[in-house]
Amino acid sequence: MHNGKTYIVTGAASGIGAETCRVLRADGARVIGIDRHEAEDVDEMYLVDLSDKDAVVKLVADLPNDTDGLANIAGVPPTAPADVVLRVNLVGLRALTEGLVDKLADGASIVNLASLAGNGWQTGLPQVKRALALDFDSDISEFCEVEDLDSSGRSYFLGKEALLVWTFQNRWTWRDRGIRINAVSPGPVDTPILGDFAATLGKRFEENMQKLERAGTAEDIAPAVGFLLSDQSKWIRGTNLAVDGGMSAHFLSAQHGF
């Protein structure tokens, strides 16, 4: 499915990013990894802090042309400072993606790792629109203060809501070149940051976990990312693929009384 392809994967050193690299390489792809830490299962590695504008600009210039896809998996948890969360999970992700589009091969695929945490984007749309107006030249710290994002991990939820909306908005942006964009939204996944979500959500996290038979694993999520990167998903555009053990279906059922 990926034989002869070259993909860029952010967050390549651990969790879902590391497993995505493994899956892609096992299926014949060449993988370029991006992370703050060294990754093992990659063919080429760039050590980059995606919260840093200058680092992202340099990364875009350094990355090769004609790659077949970009998997935006790097992210920080809700326990991180709110401005860091938005810089990495939203602003840096968008800057990297928009900077790379002209260097991607025709027919390439962009996959954003969103989250079940982004499902409430409809109710928070005014705030989501304000978040989408941010870039590296914005005063992100002031935005977080004005929006009260340091409380209750709201910065993480807002970042994922905005990422989903941005994915929907760009469903056809690069259609003339056959470049598509989609999202994957995991539910609770047993990675090194699962405890951060437990600490942030408290009782709500425990109640949600009781509804699932188990937490997800990186092995559950990476194949979905791989599918959306592959040529088998060429007519899937602007879609959010929930890989959450049925949790989003549960929330929708409860919301609508069925």
Alpha carbon separation from 104 to 7, 8, 48, 226 (Å, rounded): 10, 10, 19, 17
7 is catalytic: no
Beta bridge partners of 72: 112
Alpha helix (H) residue ranges in 27-92: 53-62, 82-86
One-letter amino acid at 194 equals L
Model pTM greater than 0.75? yes
Q: Are 85 and 78 in contact (CB under 8 A)?
A: yes
Q: What CATH code is assigned to 6-256?
A: 3.40.50.720
74: Cβ contacts below 8 Å, ≥ 6 apart: 10, 11, 17, 34, 35, 50, 88, 93
Tens digit of pLDDT at every position of the chain (258 positions): 899 999 999 999 999 999 999 999 999 999 999 999 999 999 999 999 999 999 999 999 999 999 999 999 999 999 999 999 999 999 999 999 999 999 999 999 999 999 999 999 999 999 999 999 999 999 999 999 999 998 778 999 999 999 999 999 999 999 999 999 999 999 988 877 666 666 665 666 666 667 778 889 999 999 999 999 999 999 999 999 999 999 898 888 888 888
Say which of 143, 156, 166, 227 is annotated catalytic. 156
